[in-house]
Chain A
Amino acid sequence: MYGANANPNGHGHNYVLEVTVEGEPDPLTGMVFDLRELKQILNEQVVEPMDHRFLNREVPPFDRVVPTTENLAVEIWNRLRPKIDRPNARLQNVRLFETADLFVDYRGE
Protein backbone atom coordinates (compact mmCIF):
# COMPACT_ATOMS: atom_id res chain seq x y z
CA MET A 1 0.00 0.00 0.00
CA TYR A 2 2.51 2.64 1.11
CA GLY A 3 5.76 1.20 -0.35
CA ALA A 4 8.96 2.88 0.82
CA ASN A 5 6.80 5.31 2.82
CA ALA A 6 6.09 2.45 5.25
CA ASN A 7 9.75 1.85 6.18
CA PRO A 8 9.73 1.35 9.95
CA ASN A 9 11.87 4.25 11.08
CA GLY A 10 10.18 6.88 8.97
CA HIS A 11 11.60 9.36 6.50
CA GLY A 12 11.55 13.10 5.99
CA HIS A 13 10.23 15.72 3.60
CA ASN A 14 10.96 19.37 3.13
CA TYR A 15 7.32 20.35 2.92
CA VAL A 16 6.34 23.59 1.25
CA LEU A 17 3.03 25.21 2.22
CA GLU A 18 1.16 27.78 0.12
CA VAL A 19 -1.78 29.46 1.80
CA THR A 20 -4.25 31.47 -0.29
CA VAL A 21 -6.46 34.05 1.39
CA GLU A 22 -9.34 35.56 -0.59
CA GLY A 23 -11.15 38.80 0.13
CA GLU A 24 -11.61 42.50 -0.53
CA PRO A 25 -8.87 44.99 0.33
CA ASP A 26 -9.70 46.91 3.50
CA PRO A 27 -10.61 50.50 2.47
CA LEU A 28 -8.31 51.97 5.11
CA THR A 29 -5.21 49.76 4.81
CA GLY A 30 -5.54 48.61 1.18
CA MET A 31 -4.77 45.07 2.33
CA VAL A 32 -6.83 41.88 2.11
CA PHE A 33 -4.88 40.55 5.07
CA ASP A 34 -2.04 41.93 7.15
CA LEU A 35 0.89 39.79 6.03
CA ARG A 36 2.65 40.18 9.38
CA GLU A 37 -0.38 38.74 11.11
CA LEU A 38 -0.63 35.96 8.50
CA LYS A 39 3.01 35.07 9.07
CA GLN A 40 2.42 34.97 12.81
CA ILE A 41 -0.60 32.69 12.40
CA LEU A 42 1.34 30.35 10.11
CA ASN A 43 4.24 30.22 12.53
CA GLU A 44 2.05 29.53 15.55
CA GLN A 45 -0.31 27.05 13.96
CA VAL A 46 1.97 25.16 11.56
CA VAL A 47 5.69 25.91 11.61
CA GLU A 48 6.35 25.87 15.37
CA PRO A 49 4.37 22.72 16.13
CA MET A 50 5.46 20.80 13.01
CA ASP A 51 8.90 21.97 11.84
CA HIS A 52 11.64 19.39 12.51
CA ARG A 53 9.17 17.13 14.30
CA PHE A 54 8.45 13.46 13.81
CA LEU A 55 4.80 13.80 12.79
CA ASN A 56 3.81 10.28 13.90
CA ARG A 57 5.03 10.76 17.46
CA GLU A 58 5.08 14.47 18.22
CA VAL A 59 2.21 16.11 16.36
CA PRO A 60 -1.35 15.06 17.23
CA PRO A 61 -3.53 13.79 15.60
CA PHE A 62 -0.83 11.94 13.65
CA ASP A 63 -0.24 9.58 16.55
CA ARG A 64 -3.63 8.15 15.46
CA VAL A 65 -4.08 9.37 11.87
CA VAL A 66 -1.77 8.30 9.02
CA PRO A 67 0.31 11.41 8.17
CA THR A 68 -0.25 11.29 4.43
CA THR A 69 0.07 14.63 2.69
CA GLU A 70 -3.71 14.54 2.18
CA ASN A 71 -4.35 14.22 5.93
CA LEU A 72 -1.70 16.81 6.73
CA ALA A 73 -3.32 19.33 4.36
CA VAL A 74 -6.69 18.79 6.08
CA GLU A 75 -5.14 19.26 9.52
CA ILE A 76 -3.41 22.48 8.42
CA TRP A 77 -6.67 23.76 6.93
CA ASN A 78 -8.53 22.99 10.17
CA ARG A 79 -5.92 24.80 12.25
CA LEU A 80 -5.74 27.88 10.01
CA ARG A 81 -9.34 28.54 9.08
CA PRO A 82 -10.62 29.76 12.46
CA LYS A 83 -7.62 32.06 12.78
CA ILE A 84 -7.88 33.53 9.28
CA ASP A 85 -11.58 33.79 8.43
CA ARG A 86 -13.12 37.21 9.15
CA PRO A 87 -15.75 39.42 7.51
CA ASN A 88 -13.59 40.68 4.62
CA ALA A 89 -11.23 37.72 4.17
CA ARG A 90 -11.31 33.95 4.20
CA LEU A 91 -8.97 31.03 3.77
CA GLN A 92 -9.41 29.93 0.16
CA ASN A 93 -6.86 27.17 -0.48
CA VAL A 94 -4.10 25.22 1.21
CA ARG A 95 -1.50 23.79 -1.15
CA LEU A 96 0.96 21.43 0.47
CA PHE A 97 3.98 20.20 -1.48
CA GLU A 98 5.43 16.92 -0.22
CA THR A 99 8.08 17.13 -2.95
CA ALA A 100 8.46 19.39 -5.98
CA ASP A 101 6.65 16.65 -7.92
CA LEU A 102 3.70 16.02 -5.62
CA PHE A 103 1.27 18.40 -4.00
CA VAL A 104 -2.25 18.45 -2.57
CA ASP A 105 -4.82 21.27 -2.77
CA TYR A 106 -7.52 21.40 -0.10
CA ARG A 107 -10.40 23.90 0.22
CA GLY A 108 -12.40 22.37 3.03
CA GLU A 109 -14.71 20.46 0.69
Chain B
Amino acid sequence: MKLTRRYRFSASHRLSTPRLSAEENRRLYGKCNNPYGHGHDYVLDVTVEGAPDSYGQLVNREVLDGLVAERVLSRLDHRDLNTDVPELAGVVPTTENLAAAIEAALLSGWNIAPRLSKIRVSETDRNIFELENRNA
Protein backbone atom coordinates (compact mmCIF):
# COMPACT_ATOMS: atom_id res chain seq x y z
CA MET B 1 0.00 0.00 0.00
CA LYS B 2 1.11 3.54 -0.69
CA LEU B 3 0.05 6.79 0.92
CA THR B 4 0.69 10.15 -0.69
CA ARG B 5 0.61 13.44 1.15
CA ARG B 6 0.81 16.84 -0.57
CA TYR B 7 2.82 19.83 0.69
CA ARG B 8 3.45 23.29 -0.67
CA PHE B 9 6.32 25.76 -0.47
CA SER B 10 7.34 28.90 -2.29
CA ALA B 11 10.87 29.74 -3.33
CA SER B 12 12.86 31.80 -5.82
CA HIS B 13 15.61 30.76 -8.16
CA ARG B 14 17.65 31.77 -11.17
CA LEU B 15 19.01 29.25 -13.64
CA SER B 16 22.56 30.01 -14.64
CA THR B 17 25.77 28.00 -14.78
CA PRO B 18 29.30 29.42 -14.51
CA ARG B 19 30.36 26.80 -17.08
CA LEU B 20 28.68 28.82 -19.86
CA SER B 21 28.96 32.42 -21.03
CA ALA B 22 26.24 34.96 -20.28
CA GLU B 23 24.95 34.66 -23.84
CA GLU B 24 24.99 30.85 -23.74
CA ASN B 25 23.13 30.88 -20.39
CA ARG B 26 20.47 33.14 -21.88
CA ARG B 27 20.03 30.83 -24.83
CA LEU B 28 19.92 27.68 -22.69
CA TYR B 29 17.68 28.80 -19.86
CA GLY B 30 15.63 31.57 -21.54
CA LYS B 31 13.52 33.60 -19.13
CA CYS B 32 14.69 31.43 -16.26
CA ASN B 33 18.06 33.14 -16.69
CA ASN B 34 16.70 36.66 -16.04
CA PRO B 35 19.21 38.33 -13.70
CA TYR B 36 17.02 38.93 -10.64
CA GLY B 37 15.42 35.51 -10.47
CA HIS B 38 11.78 34.55 -10.20
CA GLY B 39 9.57 32.48 -7.94
CA HIS B 40 7.47 29.33 -7.96
CA ASP B 41 4.74 27.93 -5.74
CA TYR B 42 6.10 24.40 -5.64
CA VAL B 43 3.95 21.40 -4.83
CA LEU B 44 5.66 18.42 -3.20
CA ASP B 45 3.98 15.01 -3.10
CA VAL B 46 5.62 12.53 -0.74
CA THR B 47 4.65 8.86 -1.24
CA VAL B 48 5.39 6.30 1.46
CA GLU B 49 4.98 2.54 1.11
CA GLY B 50 4.23 -0.12 3.68
CA ALA B 51 1.40 -1.88 5.47
CA PRO B 52 -1.11 -0.33 7.89
CA ASP B 53 -0.26 -0.93 11.55
CA SER B 54 -2.74 -2.34 14.07
CA TYR B 55 -4.25 1.15 14.33
CA GLY B 56 -5.10 1.11 10.64
CA GLN B 57 -2.45 3.63 9.64
CA LEU B 58 0.37 3.21 7.16
CA VAL B 59 1.92 6.30 8.72
CA ASN B 60 0.83 8.73 11.39
CA ARG B 61 0.00 11.94 9.52
CA GLU B 62 1.40 14.26 12.17
CA VAL B 63 4.68 12.34 12.29
CA LEU B 64 5.06 12.47 8.50
CA ASP B 65 4.10 16.16 8.44
CA GLY B 66 6.68 16.86 11.15
CA LEU B 67 9.41 15.04 9.25
CA VAL B 68 8.69 16.86 5.97
CA ALA B 69 8.41 20.21 7.74
CA GLU B 70 11.72 19.76 9.53
CA ARG B 71 13.72 18.25 6.67
CA VAL B 72 12.27 20.17 3.71
CA LEU B 73 9.68 22.90 4.21
CA SER B 74 11.49 24.83 6.95
CA ARG B 75 14.65 24.86 4.80
CA LEU B 76 13.08 25.80 1.47
CA ASP B 77 9.91 27.79 2.05
CA HIS B 78 10.34 31.47 1.11
CA ARG B 79 14.05 30.94 0.43
CA ASP B 80 16.24 31.79 -2.50
CA LEU B 81 17.37 28.42 -3.81
CA ASN B 82 20.55 29.93 -5.29
CA THR B 83 21.86 31.38 -2.05
CA ASP B 84 19.96 30.10 1.00
CA VAL B 85 20.11 26.32 0.73
CA PRO B 86 23.45 24.64 1.54
CA GLU B 87 22.35 21.39 -0.15
CA LEU B 88 22.08 23.27 -3.46
CA ALA B 89 25.39 25.14 -3.18
CA GLY B 90 27.28 24.95 -6.47
CA VAL B 91 24.34 23.34 -8.24
CA VAL B 92 21.98 24.96 -10.76
CA PRO B 93 18.63 24.95 -8.90
CA THR B 94 16.62 23.31 -11.64
CA THR B 95 13.67 21.35 -10.33
CA GLU B 96 15.54 18.17 -11.30
CA ASN B 97 18.35 19.11 -8.91
CA LEU B 98 15.87 20.40 -6.34
CA ALA B 99 14.04 17.07 -6.32
CA ALA B 100 17.30 15.20 -5.75
CA ALA B 101 18.17 17.53 -2.85
CA ILE B 102 14.70 17.04 -1.33
CA GLU B 103 15.00 13.26 -1.57
CA ALA B 104 18.44 13.35 0.07
CA ALA B 105 17.17 15.63 2.85
CA LEU B 106 14.23 13.32 3.53
CA LEU B 107 16.31 10.14 3.52
CA SER B 108 19.00 11.56 5.82
CA GLY B 109 16.36 12.20 8.49
CA TRP B 110 14.06 9.27 7.75
CA ASN B 111 12.97 7.88 11.13
CA ILE B 112 9.63 6.26 10.34
CA ALA B 113 8.71 2.67 9.54
CA PRO B 114 7.29 2.85 5.98
CA ARG B 115 9.84 3.36 3.23
CA LEU B 116 9.98 6.44 1.05
CA SER B 117 8.56 5.28 -2.29
CA LYS B 118 8.84 8.42 -4.38
CA ILE B 119 8.58 12.18 -4.44
CA ARG B 120 6.98 14.36 -7.06
CA VAL B 121 7.86 18.04 -7.35
CA SER B 122 5.66 20.34 -9.41
CA GLU B 123 7.29 23.60 -10.41
CA THR B 124 4.12 24.62 -12.28
CA ASP B 125 1.05 22.68 -13.37
CA ARG B 126 2.97 21.78 -16.52
CA ASN B 127 6.44 20.94 -15.21
CA ILE B 128 6.41 17.97 -12.89
CA PHE B 129 9.39 15.89 -11.77
CA GLU B 130 9.21 12.45 -10.21
CA LEU B 131 11.98 10.71 -8.34
CA GLU B 132 11.59 7.06 -7.36
CA ASN B 133 13.56 6.12 -4.28
CA ARG B 134 16.00 3.49 -5.53
CA ASN B 135 17.40 2.77 -2.08
CA ALA B 136 16.23 -0.47 -0.48
Which chain B residue lies CB-closest to A1? B55
Inter-chain contact count A-B, CB under 8 Å? 49
Contact yes or no, A70 B58, CB < 8 A: yes
Name which residue of chain B comes closest to A71, CB basis.
B56
Which of A26-34, A40-48, A97-105 lines the interface with chain B?
A: A97-105
Residues of chain B within 8 A of A59, CB atoms compared: none
Closest CB in chain A relative to B48 CB, distance in Å: 10
- Say whether B3 contacts A103, CB under 8 Å: yes
Q: Which residue of B lies closest to A93 (CB)?
A: B2
Q: Which residues of A contact B (CB under 8 A)?
A: 1-3, 65-71, 73-74, 100-107, 109
Find the B residue at minimum CB distance from A108: B1
Chain B CB within 10 Å — which of A3, A67, A68 has the most?
Answer: A68
The 6 closest A-B pairs by CB, nearest first: A68-B56, A101-B6, A66-B56, A70-B52, A105-B2, A71-B56
Q: Is there a chain A Cβ closer than 8 Å to B74's Cβ? A: no
Is B5 an interface position by the 8 A CB rule? yes
Query: What is B's interface to A at a CB cutoff of 8 Å?
Result: 1-7, 52, 55-58, 60-62
Question: Which residues from chain A contact B61 at a C-beta distance below 8 Å?
Answer: 3, 102
User: Do A106 and B1 form a contact, CB below 8 Å, given A3-B62, A100-B6, A101-B6?
Assistant: yes
B1 contact from A2, A66, A109, Cβ within 8 A: A109
Partner of B58, one of A65, A66, A104, A107: A104
Chain A residues whose CB sits within 8 angstroms of the CB of B2 once the complex forms: 104-106
Which of these, B4, B57, B62, contacts A68 with CB under 8 Å?
B57
User: CA–CA, A3 to B57, complex, Å?
Assistant: 13
> Measured between alpha carbons, how far is A1 from B5 in the docked complex, in Å?
18
The reply to whether A104 and B6 contact each other, CB–CB distance below 8 Å, is: no
A74-B1, A104-B58 given. 17 additional CB < 8 A pairs? Answer: A1-B55, A1-B60, A2-B55, A66-B56, A70-B3, A70-B52, A70-B56, A71-B52, A71-B56, A100-B6, A102-B3, A102-B4, A103-B4, A104-B1, A105-B2, A106-B1, A109-B1
